[in-house]
Structure 1
């Protein structure tokens, strides 16, 4: 599985800690981790709005399979990611959130609160969150006897989102202020992840047109 980690300006200083814990869990599982957001406060400036655009490009182009994002509270990142087609983002404060999201909702993104409650033992909480998010059978249900309706509801949610967002994804992307999209795709590490793994030539060409 290909996993993108993206962090915005308010919490960029914590990127090394978050990345270390993510790699600690993901590497033994043979997952590839791409650190595509801000790596420190001096990196190119991103907000949680940019994270939504980045996540949608990576997910819809199939450049990655899963996104881990966040902001101070995690709420802004969750709302921003969920605005976009194909992105199903859960809100995660602790390992049980990650476990239940994995088992019940089987989405493709998590928004973490990197400021709220980020104190003593924060790295342990991150490690355990990533363990629960990245291991186990996705969509297995919890409790197990609830699997059938939970799987059905996840499918219905996908259908409703597709109905609400009827337009072609590229058309939706083009309707966003180009300056926002350009900023979102300007990072060198994002571009490497996107262009090396993108499976949609039209999306790749549009991104190239913005940064050329």
Structure 2
């Protein structure tokens, strides 16, 4: 997927130190970028492109709208556009509250997918829906903890290095991704034996 000729990518040794957290990924690093550059990075190959496009709702959209191919393609495109817009808003936000609000459209989109499944129009494993609800709940609660700045707000200085709200948020996001993984595995196991009803 190369729709835009991106900047020259960096090797591990040439990346800023704060990005050097995986010594086994040797190439394909984006240089330090502006918000506009981050948005452009949706359209050229680099070593985080897969993370961007596979995060969150893409597997859920694919399974939920399995029997509606045209709608599925449109939904995937809409979600990618919403994600790009959310990333732009989050990277240009001046406060934590505005940063969290940037993702409201993605959240509403996913809520619509959940309703589609609950009401019986969409498809998917009966066991995966609760895992996806837990996934989004963990992510939202983590974001709120980061905004409210608990626990450091109650004892300033004690949580400077460990246990502050930003670290708690990251742990909750990791847990959220684990639930996404489990839910996707449930859906993939379920899809092996599922056939969309034929129109007749």
- Name the TM-score class by shorter chain: under 0.3
TM-score by length of structure 1 reads 0.24
Rg comparison, structure with higher value: 2
If each structure's strand is expressed as a fraction of its own residues, which one has the higher value?
1
Bigger relative CO (Cα 8 Å, ≥ 6 apart): 1
If each structure's helix is expressed as a fraction of its own residues, which one has the higher value?
2
TM-score by length of structure 2 reads 0.25
